[in-house]
């Protein structure tokens, strides 16, 4: 009886989702289209009837939720709703793509194929997730709906992540932060991007997440009162000018507040742009720009603007089509406030991202607006050589440009080029053409000479200067900020390497002919052994670069070759021993012992070598996760380490749980503390007194500097655990003149 009641309640719950979808479609679809949605729902219900999610709820709730996200947050059409309802049927049930195509047509089948995961990959070093993400990315060049549904699918999975075990939560959250949130951002889905980031942070750094969430709630009443006072004079001015507009407020996401606090090293109370005022103007779109500028003039009449914070994305929209005016003004109470001004259509684009540019018709054809078409063209360009790119390289290339802020740079003829922020002259050159980039020696920026390394800014007019004698340099890889530039530089370097190898071979052959030695396999093998070369390419490169001088070729074929070889071996060894004498210390040995003995346990991996990651240097008490970097080694990271997040996203199937052991009480960990404040006589004594007398801590090193009354110090300590370190930091903060004490994670 109880089972029947539960089943009826569940069915009622499921049907409420379905009715919400149909009600939402009622004014934007035909009867026949809604019948197709009903058929898709019936098929999904039947396919998933005996399946439940880890949370215990019927599985069908998941595709229904995804369909609602596709409808309400992305504003997509009938085809996308059908695909959302059916997106797991081929992967998780007995239905095939052929079944789907027969029932709903080739277009729906193609999109679902793009959403179906890959079970196996040929490269065992890659995460299966990377291969799946590559597959979805490749569909973007032909039909963006697959990746939009995939984003919706991931969003709902993040909303229900509580039911998953800890290691799964870490893996999925890392993938989301590394891959999906940047993609949602690049496609213009800012609300989805923010929700994904917040949910990822909730599992990666729960302490910081809940702290900021509580602070937002605590300041709610005060914030609402301030906003009401702030917008009142603006509303009055708009009314006087007969401008119809809606004024909204938007609180920054938890993750973006956390980013600001970390970047600026400020407490929550000092985040001045905690919220933004959004003014959405009504009226004909052809007059939208002028109305927005009129509203801007009204706002800046009431409040004094920060000119440096004006962002004009109306004249030059972002690549994803985003348009708005952003300005920051000083309120009458002395607080800076960000104001965003946009038209109703601009707001629709801002909220719905890429989907707002797509008009889906019954025949499946699409219309694009210029901004999105331009961005998709760049995606296609990146994907056109997909056969040559590994999955990891493809995803890394996409990732590099997904989150980057944009700048707008002009060619000598006035053509606008969109590049990621921090792009250099060399990136601009390669953006125009590989030939121009390969021979770039510099540029004229606004008629002033600049090197290839010069960082570009919005509004720069750039003319590339080339030379036929210029060669691509390896250090350019460190300069380039765009995946396109890096790809072309890498290709050019490989080509140059091949040319050097060929020239080195010819040089060696000519010299061996000169000294009457046969140029054959036996002689070459002898030369490789004599000069410690792994292969012939290394030998030829050494000859070309003169790191293997011709005298060594002569020595190799001399009757005294053994003596020459021993002499060449002893020289660097003796130099190394002399150097080692000075750098080897007990401290070095201690650190080696510590860094290779983290005292952790993972499930079924207690016999595998475990090392502490130097990128975040976790110490006992830190929340940690293990990443299998090889079959016989686990690297231990802090769970909020940016490197760990990338590793978990790229090698999600290599994650193991890790926890600190309690049976090792006398193990110390190397930890760094950075101190900043105002200098005065006796400050150093006060600091060392806390460290040595109050806490009795051993120091590896101390470094103090003072300039113009500002004191900065770095102290490396041997610490038992994170609680002990936090207590020490809090005590140091109480010293007179000290303004900031923070832990150093990378050293």
User: Which residues are known catalytic residues?
Assistant: 91-92
The residues, ordered by sequence, that sit 6+ positions from 262 with a Cβ below 8 Å of its Cβ are none
Torsion of CA 342, 346, 348, 350, to 10 degrees: -80
The residues, ordered by sequence, that sit 6+ positions from 524 with a Cβ below 8 Å of its Cβ are 536, 539
Return d(Cα 375, Cα 371) in angstroms, integer.
6
Return d(Cα 728, Cα 726) in angstroms, integer.
5
Overall residue count recorded for the chain in this entry? 747
User: What's the half-sphere exposure (Cβ side, CA atoms, 13 Å) at 476?
Assistant: 31
Nearest to 588 by CA among 600, 580, 577: 580
Return d(Cα 617, Cα 746) in angstroms, integer.
7
Question: Residue 690 carries which DSSP code?
Answer: I
Q: Helices 220-240 and 288-302 sit at what angle, rounded to 10 degrees?
A: 120
Return d(Cα 641, Cα 615) in angstroms, integer.
8
Beta strand ranges found along 284-330 (DSSP E): 304-305, 311-312, 325-330
Return d(Cα 442, Cα 437) in angstroms, integer.
10
Nearest to 145 by CA among 260, 203, 212, 67: 67
The residues, ordered by sequence, that sit 6+ positions from 403 with a Cβ below 8 Å of its Cβ are 182, 185, 186
The residues, ordered by sequence, that sit 6+ positions from 167 with a Cβ below 8 Å of its Cβ are 625, 655, 656, 657
């Amino acid at each position: 009886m109880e089972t029947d009641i539960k089943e009826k309640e569940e069915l009622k719950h499921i049907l409420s989702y379905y009715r919400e979808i149909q009600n939402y479609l009622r004014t934007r679809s035909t009867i026949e289209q809604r019948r197709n949605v009903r058929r898709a729902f019936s098929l999904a219900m039947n396919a998933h009837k005996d399946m439940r999610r880890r949370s215990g709820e019927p599985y069908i709730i998941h595709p229904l939720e995804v369909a609602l996200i596709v409808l309400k947050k992305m504003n997509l059409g009938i085809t996308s709703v059908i695909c959302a309802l059916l997106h797991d049927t081929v992967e998780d049930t007995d239905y095939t793509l052929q079944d789907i195509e027969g029932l709903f047509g080739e277009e729906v089948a193609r999109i679902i194929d793009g959403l179906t995961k890959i079970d196996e990959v040929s490269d065992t070093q890659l995460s299966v997730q990377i291969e799946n993400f590559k597959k979805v990315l490749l569909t973007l060049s032909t039909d963006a709906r697959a990746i939009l549904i995939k984003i919706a699918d991931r969003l709902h999975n993040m909303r229900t992540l509580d039911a998953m075990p800890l290691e799964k939560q870490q893996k999925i959250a890392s993938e989301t932060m590394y891959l999906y949130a940047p993609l949602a951002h690049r496609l213009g889905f800012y609300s989805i991007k923010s929700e994904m980031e917040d949910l990822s942070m909730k599992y990666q750094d729960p302490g910081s997440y809940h702290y900021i969430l509580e602070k937002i709630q605590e300041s709610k009443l005060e914030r609402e009162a301030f906003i009401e006072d702030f917008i009142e004079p603006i509303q009055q001015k708009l009314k006087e000018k007969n401008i119809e507009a809606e004024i909204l407020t938007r609180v920054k996401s938890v993750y973006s507040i956390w980013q600001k606090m970390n970047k600026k090293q400020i407490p929550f109370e000092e985040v001045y742009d905690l919220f933004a005022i959004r003014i959405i103007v009504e009226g004909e779109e052809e007059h939208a720009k002028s109305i927005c500028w009129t509203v801007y003039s009204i706002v800046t009449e009431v409040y004094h603007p920060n000119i440096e914070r004006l962002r004009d994305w109306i004249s030059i929209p972002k690549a994803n089509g985003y348009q708005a005016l952003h300005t920051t003004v000083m309120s009458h109470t002395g607080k800076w406030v960000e104001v965003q001004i946009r038209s109703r259509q601009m707001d629709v684009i801002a909220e719905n991202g890429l989907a707002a540019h797509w008009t889906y018709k019954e025949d499946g054809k699409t219309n694009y607006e210029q901004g999105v078409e331009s961005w998709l063209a760049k995606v296609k360009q990146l994907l056109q050589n997909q056969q040559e790119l590994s999955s990891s390289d493809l995803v890394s290339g996409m990732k590099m440009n997904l989150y980057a802020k944009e700048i707008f740079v002009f060619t000598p003829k006035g053509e606008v080029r969109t590049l990621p922020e921090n792009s250099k002259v060399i990136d601009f050159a390669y953006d125009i053409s590989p030939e121009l980039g390969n021979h770039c020696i510099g540029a004229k920026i606004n008629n002033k000479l600049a090197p290839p390394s010069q960082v570009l800014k919005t509004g720069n007019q750039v003319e590339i200067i080339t030379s036929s004698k210029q060669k691509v340099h390896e250090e350019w890889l460190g300069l380039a900020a765009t995946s396109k530039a890096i790809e072309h530089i890498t290709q050019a370097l490989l080509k140059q390497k091949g040319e050097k190898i060929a020239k080195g071979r010819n040089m060696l052959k000519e010299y061996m002919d000169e000294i009457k030695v046969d140029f054959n396999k036996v002689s070459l093998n002898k030369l490789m052994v004599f000069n410690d070369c792994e292969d012939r390419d290394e030998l030829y490169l050494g000859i070309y670069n003169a790191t293997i001088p011709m005298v060594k070729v002569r020595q190799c074929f001399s009757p005294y070759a053994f003596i020459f070889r021993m002499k060449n071996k002893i020289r660097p060894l003796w130099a190394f021993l002399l150097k080692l004498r000075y750098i080897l210390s007990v401290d070095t040995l201690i650190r080696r012992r510590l860094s290779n003995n983290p005292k952790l346990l993972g499930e079924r991996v207690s016999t595998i070598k475990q090392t502490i990651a130097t990128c975040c240097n976790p110490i006992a008490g830190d929340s940690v996760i293990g990443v299998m970097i090889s079959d016989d080694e686990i690297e231990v990271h802090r769970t909020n380490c940016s490197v760990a997040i990338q590793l978990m996203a790229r090698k999600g199937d290599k994650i193991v749980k890790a926890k600190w052991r309690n049976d090792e009480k006398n193990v110390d960990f190397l930890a760094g503390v950075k101190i900043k404040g105002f200098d005065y006589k006796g400050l150093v004594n006060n600091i060392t007194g806390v460290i040595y007398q109050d806490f009795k801590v051993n120091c590896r090193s101390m470094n103090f500097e003072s300039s113009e009354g500002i004191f900065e110090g770095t102290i490396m300590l041997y610490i038992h655990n994170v609680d002990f370190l936090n207590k020490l930091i809090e005590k140091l903060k109480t010293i007179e003149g000290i303004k900031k004490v923070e832990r150093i994670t990378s050293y």
